Amino acid sequence: MKKLILLFTFVFSVILAKAQLGYNYKMYGIGLDVSYERGYTNVTRQDNHIGANLNFIYNYSPYIPVVAELQFGTLSGGGLTPKLDPYGRQFTNNFEAFLIHADFQLGEVIDYSQSGLLNVLKNFYFGTGFGFVFNNNTTQRTNVFYGENGLPNYGPPTYVFPGVNGGVNLDVPLRFGYEFKLYNFYEEPYLAFDIGYVHSLVFGEGLDGYNDPPSKFKNNATDQYRQIQIGVKFFFGNITSFNKLIRRF
């Protein structure tokens, strides 16, 4: 009788496990992004640079990752000719940032079980969050032109542009992208590749290190920077179940 009960328990467990194939996902992940980034500040010309992001991921569901992210990047712009900046401003910001953000993939709410098109669309996402940018600027602080190409009202070339090279600013990212999921033998997502666009609003004047008075300079827009990202995620940890098939066969 004992052997029969054990056999029944084993068979029931196998059937239950088979029934769960395609529903399960791992709760945690780590990720690495490479980004192509550019600033949008009050300095005329902006340069492009390569940056990197490290991510720790908590999967609230297979379609809602909550991420703690460290960014390491460079923003720069301006130059010592009027074409590059009318006042000879020039900066390089080797910044770091820490952010918490969440993405919402369409698979959380759409029924993709009977549609090939919706099965493709389910991995598009948008998201936002908040964090802080830690600025580390090198700036050119003295006006290098005089007269027509110089400061308003023909200011002297000895004028020193106000601002600080360091400091911390609030960062609010606006995120859009697509995730390609790969599945293991148990039909669980174990690896993902992301391609995305992130536009970050930075509140404060630290991104380029200049805090020019609006009475003399055009300085009425929030500092920003964008990142075009390609990334990879590895999933691990406890296994939990979703309320529908994650992979459509």
pLDDT in tens, 78-98: 988 878 887 888 999 999 999
Nearby residues of 92 by Cβ (< 8 Å), 6 or more positions away: 74, 75, 76, 137, 138
Pull the structure tokens for residue 110. Answer: 């759409």
Phi, psi values for residue 17, rounded to 5°: -65, -40
CATH architecture of 2-241: Beta Barrel (2.40)
**What are the C-alpha distances in Å from 215 to residues 212, 229, 235?**
9, 37, 52
Cβ neighbour number for residue 128 with a 10 Å cutoff: 15
pLDDT for the residue numbered 138: 94
Mean pLDDT estimate for the chain: 87
170: pLDDT strictly greater than 90: yes
Three-state helix/strand/coil letters over 40-64 = ECCCCCECEEEEEEEEEEEEEECCE
pLDDT at 149 over 70: no
pLDDT at 16 over 70: no
Pair 239, 24: CB distance under 8 Å: yes
The closest of 180, 223, 230, 218 to 199, measured between CA atoms, is: 223
Backbone angles phi, psi at 227, to 5 degrees: -135, 130
* Reported confidence tier of residue 6, pLDDT bands at 50, 70, 90: very low
pLDDT of 20 higher than 90: no
Please tell me what DSSP assigns to residue 136. Answer: -
What pLDDT was estimated at residue 17?
45
Residue 85: predicted pLDDT: 85
